[in-house]
Chain A
Amino acid sequence: GENVEQHPSTLSVQEGDSAVIKCTYSDSASNYFPWYKQELGKRPQLIIDIRSNVGEKKDQRIAVTLNKTAKHFSLHITETQPEDSAVYFCAASINYGQNFVFGPGTRLSVLP
Chain B
Amino acid sequence: GAVVSQHPSWVICKSGTSVKIECRSLDFQATTMFWYRQFPKQSLMLMATSNEGSKATYEQGVEKDKFLINHASLTLSTLTVTSAHPEDSSFYICSAPPFGQGRDGYTFGSGTRLTVV
Contact = CB atoms under 8 A, between A and B. Distances in A.
Interface of A: 34, 41-46, 49, 89, 96-105
B93 interface: yes
B43 A89 contact: yes
B42 A105 contact: yes
18 contacts: A41-B91, A43-B108, A43-B110, A44-B44, A44-B108, A46-B104, A46-B105, A46-B106, A89-B43, A97-B32, A97-B97, A99-B34, A99-B46, A99-B49, A99-B97, A102-B43, A103-B43, A105-B42
A48 B44 CA distance: 18
Contacts of A103: 43
Interface string B1-45: 000000000000000000000000000000010100000011111
Contacts of A49: 105
Interface of B: 32, 34, 41-46, 49, 91, 93, 95, 97-99, 104-106, 108-111, 113
Contacts of A96: 97-98
Given A99-B34, A104-B42, A43 B109 contact: yes
A43 B94 CA distance: 9
A102 B44 contact: yes
A41 B43 contact: no
Given A34-B106, A43-B111, A100 B43 contact: no
A49 B43 CA distance: 18
A82 B95 CA distance: 28
A89 B105 CA distance: 16
Given A49-B105, A99-B49, A89 B44 contact: yes
B3 to A, nearest CB: 11
Nearest to B91: A41
A17 to B, nearest CB: 24
Nearest to A4: B43
